[in-house]
Amino acid sequence: MKGQTHQQVRDFWKSQDWTKSNEELVKSTGYSLDNVKFWRERQNIFIYSIKDFWEKVDWTKSNGELVQLLHKNKSTISYWRRRLNKPKVYENSKLKYRTDWDWTKRDTDLAKWSGLSKERVRQIRKKLNKPKYNPDDRYEPIFKKMIEDLDKQPLYRYLSCRLLSRIYGLPYGKVLVLKSLGILHGGGNEKFVFYKVMNFSIPPTKLAKIWFAEEPFGIQKICSWKTYNCMFNYDWKALTNEEKQDLLEKEEQKAREVKEFLASLPIKGKVCQIH
């Protein structure tokens, strides 16, 4: 640039296409790489032109593939991938496979299952940006299934919390949370809260025959439930014979449904029996 004024030099560099890379400008202008870098910074378009270049890169390829394609440093490619919020692409096929692991499990469980050490599983979790183990995550699908069953069959709401924890494999404390929210009506000791589904306008002797025909102390149970819950049959004598018969038939139907429901529970033994 000998013999040219400073203004002519500035105009020359200003007329260049700065969206091109430094290497392309070296070839088109015939000047050194240092010269091009100097005038790029002087033009104050360093960031914009370089960003345009990296936005055109095919980020579906891994960093290793981009190193060979662009002849750039791997750390530079990683920097621009983070800066442009582009997704990571893993070169290791094993790492791709590990993205499908059930990361809601503990590191110790994954280590036993995969044959790797606990520390290696922790490193893979961190590298894949998977969330840390939360013990409540594994219960979410079980809770969803339980709520669906409660909607389909309301009688589940009257089972004891301990029995529900056995059926669904949930901790007893987790089931108690649903009881505290008013979703469940069962107690801790009773297998099924019969008194909340019984019609206590029917006399205890008749209720005992319907619900506890095979149990000798059924009438005592019903009387104790009535007394404890302050339920009394004031209107039974005032009913007509047809109304009484209709109530008894409905109660028998309800008792059959409860017995069938308890017999269908997926737990063997006396816990599912009505007496």
Residue 271 confidence (pLDDT): 39
pLDDT above 90 coverage of the chain, percent: 0
Q: Is 258's pLDDT higher than 80?
A: yes
Q: Where are the alpha helices (DSSP H) in 61-171?
A: 63-70, 74-83, 93-98, 107-114, 118-127, 140-152, 161-168
Predicted confidence (pLDDT) per residue in 208-219, tens digit: 777 776 666 566
What are the tens digits of pLDDT across the range 142-169? 878 888 888 888 888 878 788 888 888 8
Q: Rounded distance, CA 48 to CA 189, Å? A: 71
Query: CA 26, CA 269: separation in Å to the nearest integer?
Result: 86
Work out the number of other CB atoms within 10 angstroms of the CB of residue 63. Answer: 18
Q: Poorest-confidence range of 66-75, 95-104, 176-185, 187-196? A: 187-196
What does the alpha-carbon distance between residue 160 and residue 70 come to, in Å, rounded to a whole number?
67
Q: Please state, rounded to an integer, the average pLDDT across all residues of the chain.
A: 75
Which whole number is the average pLDDT over 49-67? 79
Report the chain's C-alpha Rg in angstroms.
38
What CA–CA distance (Å, rounded) separates 202 from 8? 109
Q: Measured in Å, how far apart are the chain's first and last C-alpha atoms? A: 106
Lowest mean pLDDT among 30-34, 41-45, 100-104, 155-159: 41-45
* pLDDT of 227 above 70: no
